[in-house]
Amino acid sequence: MAGDYAVAVTTGGIPLVEKILPRSGVLQRTAASGASMQIIAANVDMVLVVTSIKHPDFSNGFLCRALAAASWKELKAAIVLNKMDLCCSQDKELQDSILATYGPGGAGYPLFPISCTTGHGADALLEYIRGMTVVMTGSSGTGKTSLVKYYNPSLDVRIGTLNPKTSKGRHTTVAARLIPLKSNTSVIDTPGLRMFSIDHIPRNDMQFCFPEFRVYLDECKFRDCLHLSEPECAVKSAVDEGSIPEIRYGKYVDFMNEKNP
């Protein structure tokens, strides 16, 4: 597993893994089959969800699922908004909405608009992750591999091409891989995912996977409030007042409905 620490013995020049040391900081999702849990990376300090404003299109669903999965494992998360070089004036509204929804004034995540093509914003992001082991996740084609390649140009990795019809990425990165950068910083590049399934998060825990809900959770009238149709719900009041972004609350409701009891 990418990120694992192991004890290895070398016999005849060939290292052999004897034991995997206990893991902390594990990012996981529900496997495509839906039945089992899949570990994406181990021993990580933070999750970077790599998104793009277009090619492929920005997806609130993917982002909120990945953020919830990180939160459920108590992992810090930050958002990378890549391909800013493709942004034109028509995209300004979307860009502002992403910032308002997920950034410091909304859900409260650190958000880095960058471009792997021009290098815009890449230094600030590298500074932010300095000294950490971070795992990147995101839809195929958002530029995860391009980003590690930008930081480490000598690296022999394959960059994907986008399907010109759908703007979706192809699955070029086939296995998770840890790439050491300078200053004790490591990045784990992972295969792109079509879908970030969070079936493994219990329905009652979903409210804790939205960090911006937390200050309101104790203020609901009912102790077991799930913030759906209960009266005098502090979370819903915060949505009405604009303190919790509507898009985030909408995703919460969608995820709860998917798990309908």
Ligand X SMILES: Nc1nc2c(ncn2[C@@H]2O[C@H](COP(=O)(O)OP(=O)(O)O)[C@@H](O)[C@H]2O)c(=O)[nH]1
User: Contact positions toward ligand X, by CB under 6 A?
Assistant: 82-83, 85-86, 115-117, 138, 140-146, 159-162, 169, 172-173, 192
Alpha-carbon span 213 to 224, nearest angstrom: 14
Distance, CA of 226 to CA of 22 (rounded, Å): 34
- From the list 30, 34, 1, the residue with the least C-alpha distance to 17 is 1
Q: At its nearest, how many Å lie between ligand X and the CB of residue 49?
A: 11
CB closest to ligand X, residue no: 143
In 3D space, the residue among 149, 37, 32 whose CA is nearest the CA of residue 82 turns out to be 149
Q: How far is the CB of 230 from Zn ion (least distance, A)?
A: 6
State the minimum distance, in angstroms, from the CB of residue 253 to Mg ion. Answer: 32
Residues in the chain, how many? 261
Nearer to ligand X, 117 or 152 (CB): 117
Three-class SS state of 133: strand
Closest distance of CB 174 from Mg ion, Å? 9
- Least separation in angstroms between CB 7 and Mg ion: 30
Q: Which is nearer to Zn ion, 110 or 211 (CB)?
A: 211
The contact mask relative to Mg ion for 105-144 (x = CB under 5 A, - = no) is ---------------------------------------x
Whether 80 and 147 have beta carbons less than 8 Å apart is answered as: yes
Distance CA 198, CA 34 (A): 9
245 interface partner picked from Zn ion, ligand X, Mg ion, none, CB below 5 to 8 A per type: none
How far CA 139 is from CA of 46, 89, 114, 126, 236, in Å, comes to 18, 24, 16, 21, 30
d(CA 148, CA 152): 6
First to last CA, the chain: 34
Of residues 56-85, those binding Mg ion (CB under 5 A)? none
Task: Please tell me the distance from the alpha carbon of residue 114 to that of residue 102, in angstroms, as a whole number.
Answer: 16
The smaller minimum CB distance to Zn ion, of residues 150 and 252, is found at 252
Calpha distance 242→244 (Å, rounded): 5
Residue 29 binding result from Mg ion, Zn ion, ligand X, none, given CB thresholds of 5 to 8 Å by partner type: none
Residue 145 is a binding residue for Mg ion (CB under 5 A): yes
Looking only at residues 217 through 236 of this chain, which bind Zn ion when binding is defined by CB under 5 A? 220, 225, 227, 233, 235
Q: How far apart are CA 245 and CA 121, in angstroms?
A: 25
Tell me how far, at minimum, the Cβ of 195 lies from Mg ion, in Å: 16
Q: C-beta of 139: minimal distance to Mg ion in Å?
A: 11
Residues 149-178 that bind Mg ion (CB under 5 A): 173
> How far is 141 from 167, CA to CA, in rounded Å?
8
User: Which residues contact Mg ion (rule: CB under 5 A)?
Assistant: 144-145, 173
User: Which residues contact Zn ion (rule: CB under 5 A)?
Assistant: 220, 225, 227, 233, 235
